[in-house]
Amino acid sequence: MTVLKAKLTHWLHWPKLDIIRPALKPLYQPSLAIRYIFTFSILALATAIRWSFDAELGDTQAYTFYFAAIAITSWYAGFWPSVVAIVLAYFSAHWFFIHPRYELAFHEYTLDDYISLGGFLFSGLAISFTSRALHTARKRAEAKQQELAREAIERERAQLELQKTQSQLQEHAHMLEQRVEERTANLVQTIHSLEGVCYHIAHDLRAPLRAVQGFTTLLLEEYAPKLDKAGEDYARRAADSANRMDDLIFSLLEYGQLGSMQFPFTAVDLNPLITGILDRQATHIKSRNAQIQIEQPLPVVFGNFELLNQVLDNLIINALKFVPLGTTPHVHISAQKTDNTVRIWIKDNGIGIEPEFQKKIFQIFEQLHDKQKYPGTGIGLALVAKAVQRLKGRVGVESELGKGSRFWVELPLPPA
């Protein structure tokens, strides 16, 4: 019903109706002249009706029909025309229907006449004021109704615009999803292609490197007596470079695989994992006379066993390797549990890291130390950072030059 009223109001305010609206205006907004003409006319009609019943009524009921005239006048013409109607009605009733007729003999008024006059004036004014109050209330109600109708139309228009906007957003979202899917598919295809290319490049590069390694080994074993010290040194350097190049290519392949391979997540117990790493490094630990301290108990974390094994293996090897010459390595492994995470600490008594290099060491090919003293590819900590990223964790270091380092890895706890 409200929508129907809103539409009717909207139709009544249609711009094309402006042509005929001036012609309709006098019907619902009469001019001042028309209202007073109507007042005189309705009083004349009331007088005529009362005159037609004069034989039956005589000198009684002089004001009765004028009440109706006042009520009609106040409703149609307004408050002030109704006041005029009250005055004219009184004089008309007194002139035509109150004894003595056809004269205004106020000096002959009795108490009943004054009471009757007071009642008439009070009733007429009551009708006028009541009518004005009703008109005011009606205008307010109409204004409120028009406001509500306009609001309903605006709401309907806003709803339509909202639906249109939502439809457009859905279309854009659908198009965006399609583009993302297409680009993701293209990216996956590109990654697979690059993996294939990298694999073939690595395979093709490692094949001649192995040939160089083999020939240099034969040269050193079978032709060493025929080489002077310089030739033997050159051959050994060539073999070392070939071996280092082979390690570098293998590390690059590992780094590339970390970004594309899928790794399932499970609960990983740190105790057997670290025990396995130490068992594999037992020969190296014994040769360095290293001391390994594990602070029990080590908790269970949520991650991937292979990735976590690679991370901790690299950190423990670095803790054993980067110590000053003549110093016995001391490695302390512990874990600190919080509400949702576990932070694994690997502390050493190594050479330490300067503050300005503590973030750079996790970048690829960042090797801070002399390759002759501390050989390596410069990719180990980059592999650690990449693997921890895939484990949805964090990695960092606290270190002071010459006083050792504390590497930490933060991983989530298994879900409850």
Residues 403 and 288 in one domain: yes
Mention every residue, 6+ apart, whose C-beta is less than 8 A from residue 262: none
- The structure's pTM equals 0.49
pLDDT band for position 18 (50/70/90)?
very low
- Domain membership of residue 107 (yes or no) is yes
pLDDT at 12: 46
pLDDT at 256: 62
Average pLDDT over residues 133-139: 85
Which has more confidence, 41 or 363?
41
Mention every residue, 6+ apart, whose C-beta is less than 8 A from residue 46: 65, 66, 68, 69, 89, 92
pLDDT exceeds 90 at position 231? no
pLDDT at 14: 45
Instruction: Give residue-wise pLDDT tens across range 269-309.
Output: 999 999 999 999 888 888 888 899 999 889 999 999 988 99
Share of the chain above pLDDT 90, in %: 18
pLDDT at 266: 92
pLDDT exceeds 50 at position 11? no
CATH number of the domain residue 277 falls in: 3.30.565.10
The count of domains in the chain is 2
**Nearest to 209, CA basis, from 164, 240, 251, 172:** 240
Residues 138 and 271 in one domain: no
Which has more confidence, 265 or 5?
265
pLDDT exceeds 80 at position 153? yes
pLDDT exceeds 60 at position 318? yes
* Domain endpoint, select from 130, 163, 196: 163
- Domain membership of residue 169 (yes or no) is no
Scanning the structure block, which residue is given the tokens 């306009």?
Answer: 150
Q: Which amino acid is at 385?
A: A
**Owning domain of residue 353:** 264-412
DSSP designation for 350: S
pLDDT exceeds 50 at position 389? yes
Residues 29 and 149 in one domain: yes
Mention every residue, 6+ apart, whose C-beta is less than 8 A from residue 222: none
pLDDT at 20: 46
**Do the beta carbons of residue 229 and residue 178 sit within 8 Å?**
no
pLDDT at 268: 92
pLDDT exceeds 50 at position 393? yes
**Do the beta carbons of residue 376 and residue 363 sit within 8 Å?**
no
Residues 156 and 272 in one domain: no
- Domain membership of residue 44 (yes or no) is yes
User: What gap in Å lies between CA 398 and CA 177, rounded to an integer?
Assistant: 43
- Domain membership of residue 216 (yes or no) is no
User: What gap in Å lies between CA 342 and CA 104, rounded to an integer?
Assistant: 112
Instruction: Give residue-wise pLDDT tens across range 189-221.
Output: 766 666 566 656 666 666 676 777 777 777 777
pLDDT at 352: 85
How high is the mean pLDDT of the chain? 79
